[in-house]
């Protein structure tokens, strides 16, 4: 994993711990930060992401709400209108849908409809995507719904360091941010340089692995899979570059184009159903902007256009190393 | 056995069940002819408040009429009039202090005007210049809400933030009878109750949601009864009786300010005109019904009382009419100014810093506009 | 003046306000020690019904225990147990006829089993084979609902469709205390009331929504009071007293079937175990509280009454235990069978005819599986 | 406009009238069809699309509900589970968002989660998109949210004949269909051959105008604009083919690819904000499937990534003839 400033103090944290730490540091630094949602209080969240925050900062700063996602989102709008920086948790991706109206018609639009007079500095944390053997409604990849909605920032870390720093930046942002936390990476550990100021910000993609033959474009939970695929391909003598978007909105056109142009081939990887998705957008943009550098069509490795499957079948829905390598094989190599 | 349950709120609320139940009849202090229903007129709001209220209603009525004229002249795209509901509109604004917040719907333009927002800015949305014409922080009036009931949880959040800071702000949040059917109404009342925030939910029951009558919206004894399920005291009041509205709403605001938590007030009134100018009310209701309600006009009623009590004379009434006329003229003049919205505004306010994508798109629009030739018009074809 | 409002439902409902208010204490017919709270035991459900109910509870308890064991053995992914809530589970199924419908949540597996759905199929969801293991039409049991309260409007629609066809179907729709905070709860109750459909909403108030106690969910006098705002009669009942549950629920079902519209019943019970095996209840509640509730166990209570009344002897109790054991064995054996779900099923049921896109994607999966070599495993890496 | 069988009786109807007629014919033919929503009863809907239906078929068949979109959608799920074919109206596109949870987690998934045992033959009618001078929340193009959700069919007619026949087919379908009704075309008139059985079904795109130089791909409200652009281009000597998708899901890959391959150039046109949209999907698919036929990158002419603007600015947001012609000019013509 690329880190920027090798001098500073690092801690090894899981993604869940890194998020917990980001919340804790934000609560400590800024008295207007509030953490709220279902079970985020004494329980510390079903993934323990908010563990200890109520104990440390009190009931007013980190608290459970009644069980109603639209209510939570709408309540947060009011808090943010009146001087607070709420960080709300939607317990699982699919349980954010009742809040959709509030997210689309208010959270995304408030700043614009009031011509900048009412800002909503709020963060919607969404434990997100699959690969954890969850029963139905516990593994949705819902980023396209948010990314398609103008007015929202949409961010998806792929490692503990980004989880920490992107969340800190999201909380500090004057605009609403949908913060997607890949569930299957909650327990993945990594180094976090807590004092270095954070490296590249929201809106910047990062090359996680250099490579010359083709570019894999991924975000969130697909980044480790892409890295594994690149590792496997390297064993077969093919050099794959891996780009981690980190932020879906804003999108790093410059970074992604430069990466694709350097290899001339691209595969986009994402867990969500492929149709009208973020992967579609990436493929369309790359196709439009890098057309003359492309030696082959942009391939997409995504979830199929089906509801997320039950645990015993989810391995087929998730982009796998095999499916990525198949797509790479398909990129019309001259030597094939 | 009950004591073994040992949940504080049960013990507290069981005792208070009766307090939450609204009166069985809407509170009325002045009957439709302006006669006090109470023996002791000291039970009425102070004469000054009533006079101020009447002045507000005269202005609100004039504002409603003016806006409708502007629609007919094609200067406003649409206007959902509160004609007939002026007592509710004025009372909602009048019971609040400066530090308080008002959350209006699209129909509550007269309430926003009563609270001091510039009527020209209030009508910005309906004129089509921009989505919201005024600065919500200036008079603490939230943007006019179009998606029904969605503003109610915002009101709860605003109140909670104020309370966390120890401020004594009260929030008055308005919605219609139809909006009470939405899930957001439920969630807002429940959050308000659980967090015990100072919000007065004020439902203007004007008997219709566009064409749908109240009987298709609910079969509850009253909308005020909806408070019971949240542990929120409810009250129903004659929504065409300004005296009763001031009485009930300011008591509710006072209790909220004192830390007694949210309240629900239903004002029973009537939408005298069509839903908007685009609506045809004859399709779903008869003239008789409308005529019966015309007889309960909130302005006539208060006028009659105040004149009868010797508190209003022709001179004062003329002063009211003058003030209303001035506001109408200001509205007319302001709306007549043709604002050409800046196309760059499309991109300016979406984010605090435009994304690279928006920067590109703005450049595209700039380029398009700069090339504007007669053969390729800016209207979509 | 009230008569001038002339809205039928007001006149109707004002008279009926008292009918909608639940009793101030939960209805209890047998106290925690199994002593009748009524002088005349004829007021209790018939002995046969109580015996059938006890048998059902013994089986439900055994089923809960068995499922928890299967989780510990890794044969089920997760199990939200209704241990301690068996009286509610059994009563919900027992008061219904074959033509009726039951709408359960994820926690109401024992209710589905009581209604005759194969326990192995009921656990399909929690085993991870497929999203729903049983055919909802076979026993008229809707799929176990995971998104909270979302199944309640479905129940209303099913009831309305039946009524349009003149059928006498009643629908019993279950949800938890937490789910009552969702907007869908509100909208479902209101639709049911406005369309006067035969739905009994049965809220199992087990005092927690995962870690969140009832006091953070509502400050209403009771959840049953939530009916008032819809014009729906509410009743609260001791949810660990099968006799009271059968009494209250079958009366509600009877009224619904007779055309009296929807009802709301709150059963006060307790979730004796953690939310699921993945939960750690010690983080949010103390042992004392759990112990106090253990003393109110629904099985012990009914057992004590029936034995005391000479209606139950050891032989009969043994027969109950045997039946429960048979069901547990059937469950165990069925779950032990390793189902390998057909990958083609991924695409088979999304639409009645797969889209060209799904046909292509299926071909891709087929191809991938056919090429399955050891070096490229099927698990995502 | 292409029609299939010139022999049969035709009527000239507006789109709104054609939809009204489709509802009326479906109600008459099938006693299980129900029409419900806000103001669809005595008022006949705010666009008069359901005019006269309550009078003709009675309160049980066409009726007003309480004002609650999630409730309407959820109620319709139950009706459809129990033998009915509900057709629900969401009064305006943006007012469908409160129903999002019901649409995504139940309507789209019920058939799949019950392994085909519970079918939901229901139609969600959505007065849709802009161009009518509506105030905020009255002009959203929400198709991407639905098209991204597996389990839904998504259909958008561009003319009265398709409005009639696609709706008849949607009501007859055993699966849920989101039926998008372009508001600005409600009053556009066209011929409808009421007795001919309907021409091409859901899932089939149609070439509305032949052309050889480039292909414009559009659906719903953008089709007439595309046709106008083609007309204008023809005056400049450029021959543009216009494809009307008619159905977004299922998508007519074969038809669209054949059209694009015949010209080698493509512009996708849609009103919705472009990011992660249906237009992205089309551009990505065409880029992937027709790569070697493409003489230039696929261009998109879409709404900008902003909330739908107020009436006085909406002309800038809508794909215009000018913007389409600019995009066509951009397709790297050899003679340029
Ligand atoms: C969520 C939502 N659904 C539908 C609409 C469309 N609509 C606008 S006003 C209205 C009726 C509102 O009735 P009510 O709440 O009684 O307010 P009133 O117009 O009578 O003041 C409807 C259905 C909307 N604005 N928002
Ligand atoms: C819409 C939605 N939001 C959140 C969740 C996550 N969740 C699952 S169970 C649960 C608590 C439910 O509590 P309650 O309704 O009291 O039912 P119980 O589990 O006690 O039976 C929560 C929050 C969900 N399933 N659906
Ligand atoms: Mg109304
Ligand atoms: Mg519970």
* Tokens found for residue A64: 């459970």
At A315-331, the pLDDT tens digits run 999 999 999 999 999 99
**Beta carbon pairs, C and D, within 8 Å:** 142
At B326-377, the pLDDT tens digits run 999 999 999 999 888 899 999 999 999 999 999 999 999 999 999 875 544 4
pLDDT band at D199 (very low <50, low <70, confident <90, very high): confident
At D264-303, the pLDDT tens digits run 999 999 999 999 999 999 999 999 999 999 999 999 999 9
pLDDT at B19: 63
pLDDT at C13: 38
Report which of B113, A291, A307 is spatially closest to residue D116, judged by C-alpha positions.
A307
At A262-317, the pLDDT tens digits run 999 999 999 999 999 999 999 999 999 999 999 999 999 999 999 999 999 999 99
Report which of B222, B210, B2, B200 is spatially closest to residue B91, judged by C-alpha positions.
B200
Smallest CA–CA distance, residue B322 to chain D, in Å, is: 32
Q: Do the Cβ atoms of C219 and B227 come within 8 Å?
A: no
Question: For residue B381, is pLDDT > 50?
Answer: no
My answer on whether C372 and C279 are in the same domain is no
Best B131, B153, B188 member to test A by mutation, with max A CBs in 10 Å, is B153
pLDDT at C371: 87
Minimal-distance CA residue of chain C relative to B232: C220
Question: For residue D198, is pLDDT > 90?
Answer: no
Chain B neighbours (≥3 Cβ pairs under 8 A) are A, C, D
My answer on whether B293 and B371 are in the same domain is no
Q: Which residues of A are catalytic?
A: 138
CA angle D227, D178, D156 (to 5 degrees): 5
Question: For residue C4, is pLDDT > 50?
Answer: no
**Beta carbon pairs, B and D, within 8 Å:** 132
CB of A316 within 8 Å of a chain C CB? The answer is yes
pLDDT at C9: 37
Residue D251, H or E segment: none
* Tokens found for residue C266: 């709150």
Is the Cβ–Cβ distance between B360 and B97 less than 8 Å?
no
> What mean pLDDT comes out for the span A244-249?
98
Is the Cβ–Cβ distance between C188 and C149 less than 8 Å?
yes
Which residues from chain A sit within 8 angstroms of residue D304, using beta carbons? Answer: 150
Question: For residue D2, is pLDDT > 90?
Answer: no
pLDDT band at B163 (very low <50, low <70, confident <90, very high): very high
pLDDT band at A335 (very low <50, low <70, confident <90, very high): low
Which residues from chain C sit within 8 angstroms of residue B184, using beta carbons? Answer: 183
Report which of C76, C154, C150 is spatially closest to residue C119, judged by C-alpha positions.
C76
Q: Which residues contact D113 (CB under 8 A, 6 or more apart)?
A: A136, A307, C130, C131, C132, C143
For chain B, give the mean pLDDT: 93
Rounded CA gap, B79 and B165, in Å?
Answer: 38
What interface predicted TM-score (ipTM) does this complex get? 0.96
Question: For residue A216, is pLDDT > 60?
Answer: yes
- Ligand 2 near C176 CB (within 6 A): yes
CATH number of D13-193: 3.40.50.970
CB of A94 within 8 Å of a chain C CB? The answer is yes
Instruction: Decide if C275 is catalytic.
Output: yes
pLDDT at A334: 80
pLDDT at C378: 44
pLDDT at B5: 33
pLDDT at C5: 33
3-state secondary structure at position C104: coil
My answer on whether B64 and B158 are in the same domain is yes
Number of structural domains found in chain B: 2
> What mean pLDDT comes out for the span D115-141?
97
CB of B150 within 8 Å of a chain C CB? The answer is no
Neighbours of D89 (CB within 10 A): 28
Best C221, C224, C231, C268 member to test B by mutation, with max B CBs in 10 Å, is C221
My answer on whether B316 and B361 are in the same domain is no
pLDDT band at D28 (very low <50, low <70, confident <90, very high): very high
Quote the pTM value. 0.96
pLDDT band at B18 (very low <50, low <70, confident <90, very high): low
Q: Which residues contact B342 (CB under 8 A, 6 or more apart)?
A: none
**Nearest residue (CA) to ligand 1, atom 3:** D95
- Structural domain containing residue C357: 345-378
My answer on whether B240 and B103 are in the same domain is yes
- Ligand 1 near B101 CB (within 6 A): no
At B181-203, the pLDDT tens digits run 999 999 999 999 999 999 999 99
Hey, which residues does D181 pair with through a beta bridge? D127
Of A110-114, B35-39, C173-177, give the lowest mean pLDDT range.
B35-39
Q: Do the Cβ atoms of B17 and C230 come within 8 Å?
A: no
Q: Do the Cβ atoms of D289 and A297 come within 8 Å?
A: yes
Query: CATH 3.40.50.970 region(s) of chain A?
Result: 13-193
* Tokens found for residue C5: 């409002």
pLDDT band at B42 (very low <50, low <70, confident <90, very high): confident
pLDDT at C236: 96
pLDDT at D1: 36
For chain C, give the mean pLDDT: 93
Smallest Cβ–Cβ distance between A297 and the set D149, D287, D299 belongs to D287
Smallest Cβ–Cβ distance between C218 and the set B26, B185, B190 belongs to B190
pLDDT at A198: 75
Which residues from chain B sit within 8 angstroms of residue C21, using beta carbons? Answer: 17
Which residues from chain B sit within 8 angstroms of residue A110, using beta carbons? Answer: 143
At A137-162, the pLDDT tens digits run 999 999 999 999 999 999 999 999 99
Smallest Cβ–Cβ distance between B157 and the set A78, A117, A253 belongs to A78
pLDDT at C135: 98
- Ligand 2 near A38 CB (within 6 A): yes
- Ligand 2 near A100 CB (within 6 A): no
CA dihedral A262, A264, A268, A269 (to 10 degrees): -70
Task: Tell me the percentage of chain A whose pLDDT exceeds 90.
Answer: 94
Q: Do the Cβ atoms of B125 and D136 come within 8 Å?
A: yes
Is the Cβ–Cβ distance between D281 and A280 less than 8 Å?
yes
3-state secondary structure at position C134: coil
pLDDT at C373: 55
CB of D113 within 8 Å of a chain C CB? The answer is yes
CATH 3.40.50.620 is the classification of domain D206-335: no
In chain A, how long is the greatest CA-to-CA distance? Answer: 64
Rounded CA gap, D14 and D192, in Å?
Answer: 9
My answer on whether C237 and C360 are in the same domain is no
Is the Cβ–Cβ distance between D296 and D248 less than 8 Å?
no
Hey, which residues does C234 pair with through a beta bridge? C264
pLDDT at C24: 84
Task: Tell me the percentage of chain B whose pLDDT exceeds 90.
Answer: 87
- Ligand 2 near C210 CB (within 6 A): yes
Rounded CA gap, C145 and C217, in Å?
Answer: 20
Spot the catalytic one: B52, B163, B255, B284. Answer: B284
Which residues from chain C sit within 8 angstroms of residue D84, using beta carbons? Answer: 157, 161, 164
**Mutational test site, ligand 2, from C148, C151, C203, C281, max ligand atoms within 8 Å of CB:** C148
CA B177 to ligand 1: nearest atom:
16
My answer on whether C141 and C230 are in the same domain is yes
Is the Cβ–Cβ distance between C333 and C325 less than 8 Å?
no
Q: Do the Cβ atoms of B227 and C222 come within 8 Å?
A: no
pLDDT band at B9 (very low <50, low <70, confident <90, very high): very low
> What mean pLDDT comes out for the span B68-80?
95
């Amino acid at each position: 994993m690329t880190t920027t400033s090798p001098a500073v103090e690092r801690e090894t944290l899981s993604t869940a711990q890194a998020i917990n730490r980001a919340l804790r540091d934000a609560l400590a630094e800024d008295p207007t930060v509030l953490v709220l949602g279902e079970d985020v209080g004494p329980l510390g969240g079903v993934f323990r992401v908010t563990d200890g925050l109520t104990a440390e900062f009190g009931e007013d700063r980190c608290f459970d709400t009644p069980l109603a996602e639209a209510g939570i989102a709408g309540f947060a709008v009011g808090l943010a209108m009146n001087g607070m920086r709420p960080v709300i948790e939607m317990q699982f991706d699919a349980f954010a849908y009742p809040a959709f109206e509030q997210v689309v018609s208010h959270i995304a639009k408030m700043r614009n409809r009031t011509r900048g007079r009412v800002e909503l500095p709020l963060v919607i944390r969404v434990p997100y995507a699959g690969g954890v053997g969850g029963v139905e409604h516990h593994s949705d990849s819902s980023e396209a719904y948010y990314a398609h909605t103008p007015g929202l920032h949409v961010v998806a870390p792929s490692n503990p360091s980004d989880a920490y720093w992107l969340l800190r930046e999201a909380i500090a942002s004057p605009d609403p941010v949908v913060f997607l936390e890949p569930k299957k990476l909650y327990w993945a550990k990594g180094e976090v340089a807590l004092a270095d100021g954070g490296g590249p910000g929201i809106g910047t993609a990062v090359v996680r692995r250099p490579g010359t033959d083709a570019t894999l474009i991924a975000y969130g939970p697909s980044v480790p899979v892409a890295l594994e695929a690149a590792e496997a391909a390297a064993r077969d003598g093919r050099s794959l570059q891996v780009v981690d978007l980190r932020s879906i909105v804003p999108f790093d056109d410059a970074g992604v184009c430069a990466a694709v142009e350097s290899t001339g081939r691209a595969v986009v990887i994402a867990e969500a159903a492929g149709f009208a998705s973020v992967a579609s957008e990436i493929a369309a943009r790359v196709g439009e902007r890098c057309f003359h550098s492309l030696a082959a069509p942009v391939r997409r490795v995504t979830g199929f256009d089906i509801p997320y499957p039950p645990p015993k079948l989810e391995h087929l829905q998730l982009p796998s190393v095999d499916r990525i390598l198949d797509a790479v094989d398909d990129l019309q190599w001259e030597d094939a | 056995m009950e004591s073994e349950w040992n949940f504080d709120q049960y013990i507290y609320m069981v005792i208070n069940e009766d307090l939450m139940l609204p009166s069985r009849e809407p509170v009325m202090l002045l009957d439709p002819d302006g006669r006090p229903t109470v023996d002791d007129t000291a039970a009425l709001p102070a004469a000054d408040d009533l006079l101020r209220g009447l002045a507000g209603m005269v202005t609100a009525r004039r504002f409603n009429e003016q806006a409708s004229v502007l629609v007919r002249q094609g200067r406003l795209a649409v206007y959902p009039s509160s004609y007939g509901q002026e007592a509710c509109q004025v009372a909602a604004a009048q019971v609040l202090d400066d530090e308080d917040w008002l959350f209006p719907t699209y129909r509550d333009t007269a309430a926003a005007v009563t609270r001091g927002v510039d009527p020209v800015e209030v009508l910005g949305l309906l004129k089509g210049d921009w989505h919201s014409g005024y600065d919500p922080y200036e008079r603490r009036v939230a943007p006019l809400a179009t998606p029904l009931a969605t503003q109610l949880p915002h009101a709860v959040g605003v109140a909670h933030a104020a309370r966390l800071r120890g401020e004594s702000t009260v929030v008055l949040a308005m919605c219609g009878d139809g909006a009470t059917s939405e899930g957001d109404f439920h969630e807002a009342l429940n959050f308000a109750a659980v967090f015990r925030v100072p919000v007065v939910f004020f439902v203007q029951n004007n008997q219709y949601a566009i064409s749908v009558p109240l009987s298709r919206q609910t079969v509850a004894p009253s909308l005020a009864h909806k408070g019971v399920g949240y542990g929120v005291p409810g009250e129903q009041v004659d929504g065409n009786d300004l005296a009763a509205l001031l009485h009930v709403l300011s008591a509710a605001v006072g209790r909220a300010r004192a830390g007694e938590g949210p309240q629900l007030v239903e004002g029973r009134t009537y939408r005298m005109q069509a839903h908007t100018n685009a609506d045809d009310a004859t399709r779903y209701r008869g003239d008789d019904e409308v005529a019966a309600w015309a007889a309960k006009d909130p302005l006539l009623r208060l006028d009659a009382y105040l004149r009868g009590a010797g508190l209003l004379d022709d001179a004062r009434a003329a002063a009211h009419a003058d003030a209303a006329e001035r506001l109408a003229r200001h509205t007319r003049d302001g709306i007549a100014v043709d604002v050409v919205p800046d196309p760059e505004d499309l991109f300016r306010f979406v984010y605090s810093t435009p994304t690279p994508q928006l920067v590109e798109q703005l450049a595209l629009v700039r380029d398009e506009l700069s090339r504007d030739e007669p053969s390729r018009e800016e209207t979509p074809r």
